[in-house]
Amino acid sequence: MTTIAWDGIKLVSDSQGTAGVIIQPSNFKKIYEPGEGEYWDVLGIRVIAAGISGDGKAIEIIKEKLRTGIDHKTRVDELDEVAFGVLLITEEGQCYRWQMNKRQGRPTHMDLLQLLPPAAAGSGQTFALSVLSIGKNAETAVRVACRHDKYSGGDLQIWELPPKPAVKSKRPVVAEPTPA
């Protein structure tokens, strides 16, 4: 899985990949931003970064759901069994956790919650939250989690919250194609 931590300023993840109990020595990308011309949102609020933990096969589906906007009713039916935890950072600096576990094609747990910093997701979240709770930053929290969680490791990926925009963003209106 992974460790992702948010301290209110930085979103930090590890970069280790795993397949079951096998560690894959690669730098897996775990923090994503909308691409050029993309607009992501959660509950109508613009998302500018997402730290994704869990099944790698869910990454593109999570990004597609963010493109159309997610809310408390959003489901991921495309995959038979999937588990993921996502920290979503909005342009205002808010953090939402979107999490789902499925077994045998049925959701066993799903939630979308707004969290105050500090926040963490992934298999190393308990270690990270412990470090964050004593006032340490997200980088330190993920480094500690990497030492204790066998599913976290590798180089750190770090994303920093830019200044808040003067005007809150709104989802662009897409014009309907005109009939031929």
Question: pLDDT of the chain along its 180 residues, tens only?
Answer: 799 999 999 999 999 988 777 888 778 999 999 999 999 999 999 999 999 998 888 899 999 999 999 999 888 877 667 789 999 999 999 999 999 876 665 656 678 999 999 999 999 999 999 999 999 999 999 999 999 999 999 999 999 999 998 898 888 886 666 676
In the three-class reduction of DSSP (H, G, I as helix; E, B as strand; rest coil), residue 110 is classed as strand
**φ, ψ dihedrals at 121, nearest 5°:** -145, 160
In the three-class reduction of DSSP (H, G, I as helix; E, B as strand; rest coil), residue 177 is classed as coil
Residue 25: other Cβ atoms inside 10 A: 8
Q: What is the pTM of this model?
A: 0.90
